[in-house]
Amino acid sequence: HFDFFLPRVYRTVTAEGNDSISKMQTLSNKRHQAEKKAIIQALESTNGNKTKAALLLDITRSQLYEKLKRYDLL
């Protein structure tokens, strides 16, 4: 799709290249899992206080609520 932005060495798709793509998706999933775990831990450590949990996570309350919805934690 955006191959023209990539150096030529990355443009050739091989079996190894496809494996790299699946690893990137796995990395994204791992990031989401880690984020969800951090949110749960912050809520547990603040006895469910979302304002304090957001402060611990260094995000706004509205960002926390967006993430709570995304991860079905509401």
Q: How much is the pLDDT for 23?
A: 73
Residue-number span of the structural domain to which 64 is assigned = 16-70
Residue 48 located in a structural domain: yes
Cα 42 to Cα 13, 37, 38, 57, distances in angstroms: 41, 9, 6, 7
Residue 3 located in a structural domain: no
Residue 45 located in a structural domain: yes
Q: What are phi and psi of 45, to 5 degrees?
A: -75, -15
pLDDT in tens, 56-67: 999 999 999 999
Residue 51 located in a structural domain: yes
pLDDT in tens, 7-39: 665 555 555 556 666 677 789 999 999 999 999
Q: How many domains does the chain have?
A: 1
CATH number of the domain residue 47 falls in: 1.10.10
Question: Coil, strand, or helix at residue 38?
Answer: helix
Q: How is residue 1 annotated by DSSP?
A: -
Residue 2 located in a structural domain: no
- For residues 42 and 36, give the distance between their C-alpha atoms in angstroms, rounded to a whole number: 10
Q: How much is the pLDDT for 25?
A: 78
Residue 39 located in a structural domain: yes
